[in-house]
Structure 1
Amino acid sequence: MTAYDRPGDGEPLVLGVPRAALRPSPVFLGLVALFVTCGVLAWQGAGNVRLAVFGFVVTGWLVSLCLHEYAHAVVAFRAGDRSVAHRGYLTLNPLKYSHPLLSVVLPVVVVLLGGIGLPGGAVWVDRHAIPGRLRHTLVSLAGPATNVLFTLVLVAVLRLVAPGGGTLEFWAGWALLAFLQLTASVLNLLPVPGLDGGNMLQPWLSPPYRRMYDLFAPYGFILLFALLWNPAIGERFFGGVFAVADLLGLPSGLYALGLDLIRIWRP
């Protein structure tokens, strides 16, 4: 089959799937539009600035979640799994995710309450359709790689553009988005069963360890919370994240202000 095929009376196909399955959804485009609108209002300091920063950070985080999961799906699609297209994962529509509560609602709640970029398990990949262990690892790596890229771009823009204009509130929200991407990068790369970091290693495990991994994978989120709840582990983890943020030149006072601004229920 060629890369592009057109059946006699149907919709054009790309790699065997309808082109509509590859277009960004109106839901995603709406999120992007709201993100840009809130960003402009925060930049100008127009109206209720705290509400603008709240919308800017929340929609920005949701857009990054969509792109994180899209990265998983598009790499899986290129590796041979066509089911991700038929499930709507390549449209960037968060409502198509297999667990909207875990993938969208819970991460946003954790952002608002704890200021942590929590990873969300969202897209289901047909691993049997993907040959080779390296491809499986690349599928799992694709999501965290987007978070790392976002972190570097957001920090670079903050350091290069921030002195040139905009309000303090806008850049506080921007810095918070960068910090959220940083925490998401680190959390997603942890070798915890069920998370991306663990899934990157799973194909390379011996059969007995792989069976043990698959047994614990559904409880990855619970295991993650248990680890971070431990004072010694949690302190070291966040200490490491803060150290990386300082190394990148991300001002701690600025993203702390951003976190305070999005908690609009506080006076």
Structure 2
Amino acid sequence: MDEVYKILLALFPIIMAITLHEAAHGWVAFKLGDSTARDLGRITANPIKHIDPIGTVLIPVVMILVTGFAFGYAKPVPVDVRKFEHPQKDMALVALAGPLSNFIMAVFWTFVLMLSYKFIPSGAVANAVKYMSGIGVIINIILMVVNLLPMLPLDGGRIVTGVLPFKWAVIFVRSERYGMWLVILLLVTGILGKILMPMVEMVQKNLFGLFGLG
């Protein structure tokens, strides 16, 4: 496959991984009493509502082609914690929804990959489906693992904030102003990949084992 064809095949699973991640945040927030995301039309699989051209498309595609490791983001879904009955706990549930959606999508793409080996084992179509499915598996596992890092503003940091005693949560929230810069520093220096890739590989190995893939 040439590089342009690979990019075109990769775009769909990458965009949907990031899009549905954000939609999941909005859906859980709505179920917990905050309709902000719904009112803005953000509880949708329509990527146009969520796409950030740089973070959703350019950065993930370039990184996965160049380094094999992807990192991306969409426009954050707005959440008004004042509308939650239990703001601290409910915000943690909203945060968890994103990585959980990526895990579900990783399972889906692994299933598609298994079907492609069983029913279309060779040819151009088979290669395309296998490549797209492989990207779908890896990008969703990476997004899940990255977002579960216990650092703000990542989802893992929101989850930690939700389970800490309130006075400790208030102190922890102060780290958010530096969090994304720290994530970028770890990414650029390669430290993030060294920390996360063993976890990514473990999740992938177990998913492949579950569906009988080598």
TM-score (norm 1): 0.65
Q: Which amino acid aligns with 1:114?
A: T
CA deviations on 1:63-111 (whole Å, 9 max, x unpaired) are 2211111110011011111221222212444454596654555444444
Cα distance in 1 for partners of 2:9, 2:140 equals: 14
User: Mapping of 1:81-96 within 5 angstroms?
Assistant: 81-96=34-49
Return closer, same or farther for 1:168/1:151 CA change in 2, 3 Å cut-off.
same
Shift of 1:144: 0.7
Shift of 1:56: 2.4
Cα distance in 2 for partners of 1:213, 1:158 equals: 41
Cα RMSD (Å) = 2.8
Kindly indicate whether residue 202 of structure 2 is the aligned counterpart of residue 243 of structure 1.
yes
Which runs of 5 or more residues in structure 1 are unaligned? Answer: 1-47, 251-267
Q: Which amino acid aligns with 2:21?
A: H
Return closer, same or farther for 1:92/1:160 CA change in 2, 3 Å cut-off.
closer
Kindly indicate whether residue 61 of structure 2 is the aligned counterpart of residue 145 of structure 1.
no
- Work out the number of aligned pairs and report it: 203
Cα distance in 1 for partners of 2:176, 2:126 equals: 44
User: Mapping of 1:14-163 within 5 angstroms?
Assistant: 51-97=4-50, 101-102=54-55, 105-120=58-73, 122-132=76-86, 133-163=88-118
Other-structure match for 2:212: none
Cα distance in 1 for partners of 2:208, 2:109 equals: 11
Query: In the alignment, is the contact (CA less than 8 A) between 1:61 and 1:177 conserved in 2?
Result: yes
Other-structure match for 2:174: 215
SS at match of 1:116: coil
Query: In the alignment, is the contact (CA less than 8 A) between 2:13 and 2:135 conserved in 1?
Result: no
Return closer, same or farther for 1:92/1:248 CA change in 2, 3 Å cut-off.
closer
Which runs of 5 or more residues in structure 2 are unaligned? Answer: 210-214
Query: In the alignment, is the contact (CA less than 8 A) between 2:42 and 2:77 conserved in 1?
Result: yes
CA deviations on 1:110-130 (whole Å, 9 max, x unpaired) are 444433342526112111111
Cα distance in 2 for partners of 1:117, 1:146 equals: 17
Shift of 1:197: 1.0
SS at match of 1:152: helix
Other-structure match for 2:132: 173
Query: In the alignment, is the contact (CA less than 8 A) between 1:94 and 1:104 conserved in 2?
Result: no
Q: Which amino acid aligns with 2:80?
A: D
Query: In the alignment, is the contact (CA less than 8 A) between 1:77 and 1:84 conserved in 2?
Result: yes
Q: Which amino acid aligns with 1:145?
A: L
For structure 1, which segment, 203-212 or 132-141, has the greater mean C-alpha deviation from structure 2 after superposition?
Answer: 203-212
Q: Which amino acid aligns with 2:134?
A: A
Cα distance in 1 for partners of 2:57, 2:36 equals: 21
Cα distance in 1 for partners of 2:108, 2:100 equals: 12
CA deviations on 1:160-212 (whole Å, 9 max, x unpaired) are 33232133243123212211111111111111111011111212223443233
- Which structure: larger Rg? 1
TM-score (norm 2): 0.79
